[in-house]
Each structure stands twice: as C-alpha cells, then as structure tokens.
Amino acid sequence: MTSSTEIRIRRSMSNCSRGEAARMTVPTWVRELDPDGLEDVHGWRDPKAPGRGVLLVPTEDGPVGVLLRASAGGTRAAAMCALCRTTHTVGGVALFAAARRGAAGRQGDTVGTYICADLACVQHVGAVPTPAVRPTPGVTVDERRAGLRERAAGFLATVTGSG
C-alpha cells in the first residue's frame, strides 16, 4: 500500500523523470517520516538497484529529493564525506553523481561529490566515534547536523540550478 508520505516523496524528486521516481524503492522507515516536520537530511540506497541512491533534503517548501548514481566500489583509502564531514575507513565513502535538473540533465550533465557509501549521513553525525566512522572532532552533534543540512542544501542548489 502506498502512503501519502511515499507519494509526496516521489513527487519531490527534483532531477529525474516520473517513471524513475515511480521505480525507486522507498524504505518503510522513510514512509514513516513526517514530510512537514523533516529537519534532517535522509538518504538511502535502493535495494533493488544498488547503484541508485536517494538524498532527501529539507527545505522551507518541504523535502526535495535527489536521485543519485553511485560509482562502482567505494574509495580505496580512508576518506571524508563532503556532506556530513565524517571520515570513514576504506570503502565507507563513494562518489555519487546526480543529473542536473531539466534539459542539462537530459543531455547528460551531472554533479558529483563524495558521500557516505550508505547515505546514512544523519546517523553518522550523531554517532559516537569508532575506528570505522569518525565525526568531526570538537563539534557538537547539533553543529554537525546544521552543517550537514547546509552542505546538502548547497549540493541540491547545484543540482537544481537554483544556487
């Protein structure tokens, strides 16, 4: 059964066709989110298409989704996510590309950046540091969450051409 949240998330996709949005898998935990109260950036990999991911960015007008394509494999060395600034061990960060909105995207123009391979940035900014995942030291969880929202909004603006 399709929830109103799922319908709203599919309609919020900014850089893909309606068909692509209809084919993406929306996890159960995403369907349980409140789109009107969304404060954090959420992301997930599509279990039916592992090379595909979705980033859901809160905006003043509600959440906006970005369809991502992952490069094959992850990084071959420790690397830092450009959005949440969490450092990961080998393979914990991957290069993701997002088609630009509109005609540019239809012609193959993309924007790429390094993001947590599991797209779970919101969990990583609140995580207790471990050898595999190390959030920015000396910064509070609230500051890390705010920074994640700001950098994700900047990425969204680049994809949509609004920034």
pLDDT at residue 132 in the model:
73
Of the candidates 38, 70, 40, 41, the residue with the CA atom closest to the CA atom of residue 53: 70
Q: Is 111 helix (H, G, I), strand (E, B) or coil?
A: strand
pLDDT at residue 163 in the model:
63
The residues pairing with 13 across neighbouring beta strands, listed in sequence order, are 65
Low-confidence residues of the chain: pLDDT under 50: 1
pLDDT at residue 50 in the model:
85
